[in-house]
Structure 1
C-alpha cells in the first residue's frame, strides 16, 4: 500500500471519454474531464486518503479499506463504494442503480496506472509522481 502514498500528476489518458459516456456522464461534464488530474494518496491513521484535484473540482475521500461507504461522485452519481487491496493493486468498486464499476490502481515502472472498467469499456489514466 505504501507505494501508492504520494502526489501524482496525470501524464496520459486512454479511452476516458468513451468510459464516461458509458457510465452516463453528460457531454459538458465529459468536456471538463479532459483537463489533467492531480491525485494525492496518503495514510491517516487506519484510513486511506484519496484526494483528486482538477481545475474544475476537488473530490476528497478518507476511508477504511474493506469498508463500504457512501460516495457522491464528481459526475453526480450517488454510489456505494469500497476500497481494498488485491495483491499489489488498490481496487475501488462502485455500485449504483444495479450497476457496478471497477477501478484498479497499480504501480508500473514507477508510474501509477488507474484502469477503469464499466460494462465492457476500459479506460486508463497514467500518473507520474509530482
Structure 2
C-alpha cells in the first residue's frame, strides 16, 4: 500500500466525459468535472485508508479498510456500496481495485502505481476512461 501513499495531481484524462455519461452523471456536473485537475491524497493510519479527491469544485473523502464493504456517496451524489482490495503480483505494479455497486449497476476504478506515476482506469460496461496522475 506504501506505493499509493502521498499527493497526486491529475495530468491527463482520456474519455472521462463518456465514462461519466455512461454512469448517468448530469451534464453540468460532467462539464465541471472534465475541466478540473484534482489532487488525489492517499493516507494510511493503521488498517484504515483515507482517500481524498480535492478540487476547486468539490472535495470528497472516503475512509475504508481493505476487503470490507462500505457505504460511499460519490462526487456526483450517487449512494453506492463500495469495496477496495489491493492486488500485488510479483513483477507488476500494485493495483488498488475499487468496485462501486448501485441500483443493479457496477463500475470499477483501478489505480496502479509505477514510480511517481499513478494510472486510474475507470470501467463501466464497455466504456473505459484512463486518468494519469503524477506525484506532487
Q: Normalising by structure 2, what TM-score?
A: 0.93
**Within 2, Cα distance between the matches of 1:72 and 1:7?**
22
Q: CA deviation at 1:112?
A: 0.2
Output one character per residue of 1:30-80: Cα deviation in whole Å (capped at 9) or x when no partner.
011021110101101210110001111001011100000001111111100
**Within 2, Cα distance between the matches of 1:28 and 1:14?**
19
Runs of 4+ in structure 1 displaced over 4 angstroms? none
Output one character per residue of 1:2-28: Cα deviation in whole Å (capped at 9) or x when no partner.
000010000010000000000000110
Count of aligned pairs between the two proteins: 130
SS at match of 1:33: helix
- Corresponding residue of 2:30: 30
**Within 2, Cα distance between the matches of 1:45 and 1:56?**
30
**Within 2, Cα distance between the matches of 1:37 and 1:121?**
22
- Corresponding residue of 1:69: 70
Structure 1, unaligned runs of 5 or more: none
Which runs of structure 2 are paired with 1:26-105 in the superposition (5 Å)?
26-34=26-34, 35-87=36-88, 88-105=94-111
State which of 121, 124, 127 in structure 1 corresponds to 2:127: 121
